[in-house]
């Protein structure tokens, strides 16, 4: 996975090509003449550029030469930057309207996923980043839908760690992965990133030299790696145009309709590890357990965890479980060693 995938894809288009696609998206009449004047190039150059875009799948041509009309093709791309300040409050729906033409031909379930993720992540950037600039990019290329939201603010992991008084940016990623984390509880539930990461097939956050990833192919698989440093925060979302994912399926899994609440979470235990430490202490367990009293079902994912200690297991599976009998705790992806310590704690 390369950083700025959608950004690089759109940058492959020249400024003139992007302007022509913008005119077609707006259904501008007399396209060739308008392009000549707006771009300051010859009619032959306009024609050559349009034909090139047709060959690459960005434009569809209909009719003969004298009465030819154009529509956006199967491949689409748009990028735009927005200034953000206290006097000019952006609205995610206004920004969405500038990009809606990218998604208009998608099946309804995929369109709905794109609308949800796009508006959620743009709204997060507007409300939380304190950035002066926002860059948004969206593309469809060979059936792969890609959305990127880049704010040039403090950085999501730094901001969460600072406002929540956490010991490290990695700990802020652990809290973020649980869901219901918000630095502005009066205006946000903290559920946007959690649900967005699950309705898309691939979801990435780049910030402060950290890389946070959730893939639909491995439902409980969060990855944390060092990656290229970026200014602020980049959120990138991907989904196939023929995907059968639907928002309702995801919402039903984590927020059943009969409960009307976000009641289930999956916690990747490996994000609780700081440096080269092993998971042996009660303080480490409390790091995992922070905020989990907000849920009814907690899935603790022990992928890539070779062993845990007695105190760590006891704090979670006996002490916390006894204090919160209404919370169902499941341990998943455990090996024999981890399972043995869990069983010992539960039987105590």
Q: Is the dihedral of CA 226, 227, 232, 236 positive or negative?
A: negative
Residues with Cβ < 8 Å from 35, sequence gap 6 or more?
A: 16, 19, 20, 23, 41, 46, 49
Instruction: Indicate the domain borders of the chain.
Output: 5-72, 76-250, 263-347
Q: Decide yes or no: CATH 3.30.750.24 for domain 263-347.
A: yes
And the tokens for 88?
A: 């000019």
And the tokens for 333?
A: 């992806």
Residue 105 contacts residue 169 (beta carbons within 8 Å): no
**Confidence (pTM):** 0.75
> Which tens digits make up the pLDDT trace of 111-127?
999 999 999 899 889 88
CATH for the stretch 76-250 = 3.30.565.10
pLDDT tops 70 at residue 3: no
> Which tens digits make up the pLDDT trace of 291-346?
888 888 898 999 889 999 999 999 999 999 999 999 999 999 999 999 999 999 99
- What pLDDT is attached to residue 1? 45
Angle at which helices 192-199 and 169-178 cross, to 10°: 70
Burial class from Cβ neighbours inside 10 Å (0-12, 13-18, 19+) for residue 271 reads buried
Closest by CA position to 241, among listed 75, 25, 56: 75
The answer to whether 5-72 and 76-250 have equal CATH topology is no
CATH for the stretch 5-72 = 1.10.10.10
- CA-CA distance, 80 to 11, in Å (whole number)? 11
Strand locations in 166-274 (E) = 202-207, 210-215, 222-226, 233-240, 264-268
């Amino acid at each position: 996975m390369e950083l700025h995938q959608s950004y690089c894809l759109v940058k492959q288009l020249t400024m003139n090509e992007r302007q022509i696609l913008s005119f077609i998206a707006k259904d501008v009449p007399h396209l060739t003449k308008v392009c000549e004047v707006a771009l300051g190039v010859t009619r032959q150059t306009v024609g050559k550029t349009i034909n090139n875009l047709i060959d690459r799948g960005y434009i569809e041509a209909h009719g003969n030469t004298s009465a030819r009309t154009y529509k956006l093709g199967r491949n689409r791309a748009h990028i735009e930057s927005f200034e953000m300040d206290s006097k000019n409050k952006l609205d995610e729906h206004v920004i969405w309207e500038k990009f809606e033409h990218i998604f208009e031909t998608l099946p309804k379930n995929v369109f709905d996923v794109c609308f949800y993720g796009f508006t959620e992540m743009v709204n997060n950037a507007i409300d939380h980043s304190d950035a002066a600039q926002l860059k948004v990019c969206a593309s469809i290329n060979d059936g792969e839908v890609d959305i990127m939201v880049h704010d040039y603010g403090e950085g999501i992991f730094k901001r969460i760690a600072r406002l929540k008084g956490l010991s490290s940016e990695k700990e802020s990623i652990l809290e973020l992965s649980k869901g219901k984390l918000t630095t502005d509880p009066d205006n946000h539930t903290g559920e946007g990133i959690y649900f967005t990461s699950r309705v898309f097939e691939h979801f990435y956050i780049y910030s402060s030299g950290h890389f946070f990833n959730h893939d639909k192919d491995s439902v409980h698989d969060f990855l944390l790696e060092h990656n290229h440093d970026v200014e602020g925060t980049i959120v990138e979302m991907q989904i196939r145009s023929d995907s059968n994912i639907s928002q309702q399926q995801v919402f039903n899994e984590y927020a059943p309709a009969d409960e009307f609440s976000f009641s289930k979470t999956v916690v990747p235990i490996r994000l609780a590890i700081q440096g080269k430490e092993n998971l042996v202490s009660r303080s480490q367990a409390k790091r995992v357990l922070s905020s989990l009293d907000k849920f009814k079902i907690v899935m603790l994912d022990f992928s890539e965890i070779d062993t845990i200690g007695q105190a760590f297991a006891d704090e979670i599976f006996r002490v916390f479980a006894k204090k919160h009998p209404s919370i169902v705790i499941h341990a998943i992806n455990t090996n024999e060693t981890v399972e043995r310590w869990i069983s010992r704690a539960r039987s105590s």
